[in-house]
Structure 1
Amino acid sequence: MNVLKQAVDKISIRCSEKPQVLFILGSGLGFIADEFEEKIEIEYSQIPGFARSTVQGHKGKLVVGKYCGKYVAAMQGRFHYYEGWSLRHVVFPVEVFRQLGTGYLLITNSAGGINRKFNPGDIVMISDVINMTLLKPEISCKGISHAGKVPVDKEWTEKTLAAAKKMSIELKTGVYIGVQGPSYETPAEIKAFQKLGADMVGMSTVHEMFTARSVGFRVLGISCITNMAAGILAKRLEHSEVMRVASRAKDKFGKVVRIATEVLT
């Protein structure tokens, strides 16, 4: 029995039904799963093929339950390439949940603002991505070819933006550029990213998005701007600040994730 099937079997036996949506929750954003009803929790260490989360703000648990009337699953912590995991480890949960029959991926992250119109605490819907990691994951599943296409689902994004506007919740949109990490970027790199059209930068998301798109998921991306990128402000960048801002923005972020889930039919 291969590892993919072992992971699928381990999770499916704990689920009362097929999860409709998979949430991948970034730094300081795992609180979303705390709101699930009828939930069960599985430590990553119990799931074959799953790596371990080592970054502050990532609990390392899979949580499954009811949320906004839908049966969903959430990763409280993701796997980063800079932690020493292979890209196969990074995207493995996406492949597992596609095998489970999940059709939607809602992926979140904490990001550094490059666009000077952004401020810490802003919630930004990802409109497109730039893969500056220069790495492409190998897709083990036989998926649909979407090479060259935007990995984000336009309809889902627009529905979320429209619903948030009706509730007077201000959201922004922007292009997310993914880098390898773990060190923050230099001011010169940020200037280069600006010229490439990036609005925000982070060390995750792109590989999961491309993999999800290739195997048939509909994908939505939401970033919480937790700091301004190097050189934008004369301020030292620290992960502790990322966590503080994510905590302050949690109420608004939670509302947006709830809206994005509710607009799904």
Structure 2
Amino acid sequence: MPDLDLDAPETPPTAVAQLAAAELVRRTGVERHDIALTLGSGWGRAAERLGEIVARVPADEVPGFTASGIPGHSGQLTSIRLANGLHALVIGARTHFYEGRGVRRVVHSVRTAAAAGAKVMVLTNGAGGIDPSWSPGTPVLISDHINLTAASPLEGATFIDVTDLYSSRLRALAREVDPSLDEGVYVQFRGPQFETPAEVRMARTMGGTIVGMSTALEAIAAREAGVEVFGISLITNLAAGISDSPLNHEEVLEAGRNAEEHLAGLLSRIVGRIAESVA
């Protein structure tokens, strides 16, 4: 296997993604993964419901990946055979921008999914809710985002249209599964500190309704790669200043644990519907 440094400026990041995809073929025996999912906080058990697990690969054994150091992430890449015979790649090793490894590392999983053949990228996360009607445990579709990281995964004079970045077609399919699903605008902050009440007020003034520390950069990279994007957030807590409760990561994990059974069933049904549409 060629030795390519993902972090070297002269290395095309898509070349490392191709290496990673080739290693996944070797380790899983699956030539093509049609759908990819990044499972954030609260969404991990969904992998168990999607279908037959073909293989689990430690992420740090695949080019360009590192083991996740964030609680709630499995650190594995899992190949799953869906009911209709398509294959899903479940990414349990998200790299967050606040880890300081650079944007290439943040979006490497998405580029690998595209190189592995994925037509659809499902991005999930645990996030804070600005809408006070969303209690912890509420799933919310992402209709758009505001990127406040001051960064982009695009390099050079790369201009792409992100008007319908979070596919309206896929959101409609999700509502066929659960018509009660609400939607909102996701605001990605750099982190790792939680947002201040003033920052949440700013996000709300800008049109944001969900705040978090992931997803937007990944979605942009997926669009660049020609992959259709479906995003869904688990509201783990009300954002700072929306309620009087202090914020902590254990609260995020607890909300995910309490909701995981419902989320697993919901996401497996949505992915099944998406798989029917791409078969």
TM-score, normalising length: structure 2: 0.88
Q: Displacement, 1:16?
A: 2.5
Aligned to 2:139: 123
TM-score, normalising length: structure 1: 0.92
Of 27, 38, 42, which residue of structure 2 is paired with 1:28?
A: 42
Q: Deviations over 1:156-192 (max 9, x none)?
A: 1111112212xxxx31111100011000011111111
Q: Displacement, 1:148?
A: 4.2
Q: Is 1:43 the equivalent of 2:61?
A: no
Q: Is the 8 A contact 2:82 2:272 kept in 1?
A: no
Aligned to 1:63: 78
Of 6, 29, 32, which residue of structure 2 is paired with 1:18?
A: 32
Aligned to 1:258: 268
Please give the residue correspondences for 1:1-265 in structure 2 after superposition, counting only pairs within 5 Å: 1=2, 2=4, 3-13=16-26, 14-35=28-49, 36-69=51-84, 70-138=86-154, 146-165=160-179, 170-264=180-274, 265=277
The 1:21/1:28 distance shift into structure 2, 3 A limit, reads same
Matched residue of 1:220: which SS?
strand
Hey, what's the Cα distance between the residues in 1 that align with 2:91 and 2:261? 19
Aligned pairs, number: 259
Hey, what's the Cα distance between the residues in 2 that align with 1:194 and 1:207? 20
The one-letter code of the counterpart of 1:56 is P
* Superposed structure 1 runs of 4+ greater than 6 Å apart: none
Hey, what's the Cα distance between the residues in 2 that align with 1:67 and 1:223? 23
Q: Is the 8 A contact 1:156 1:260 kept in 2?
A: no
Matched residue of 2:112: which SS?
helix
The one-letter code of the counterpart of 1:111 is A
Q: Is the 8 A contact 1:33 1:76 kept in 2?
A: no
What RMSD, in angstroms, separates the aligned Cα atoms of the two structures?
A: 1.8
Hey, what's the Cα distance between the residues in 2 that align with 1:108 and 1:199? 16
Hey, what's the Cα distance between the residues in 1 that align with 2:244 and 2:83? 41
Hey, what's the Cα distance between the residues in 1 that align with 2:183 and 2:83? 24
Q: Is the 8 A contact 2:47 2:264 kept in 1?
A: no
Hey, what's the Cα distance between the residues in 1 that align with 2:83 and 2:228? 18
Q: Displacement, 1:139?
A: 5.2
Hey, what's the Cα distance between the residues in 2 that align with 1:65 and 1:134? 35
Hey, what's the Cα distance between the residues in 2 that align with 1:58 and 1:117? 28
Q: Is the 8 A contact 2:33 2:87 kept in 1?
A: yes
The one-letter code of the counterpart of 2:74 is K
Matched residue of 2:90: which SS?
strand
Q: Which runs of 5+ in 2 are unaligned?
A: 5-15
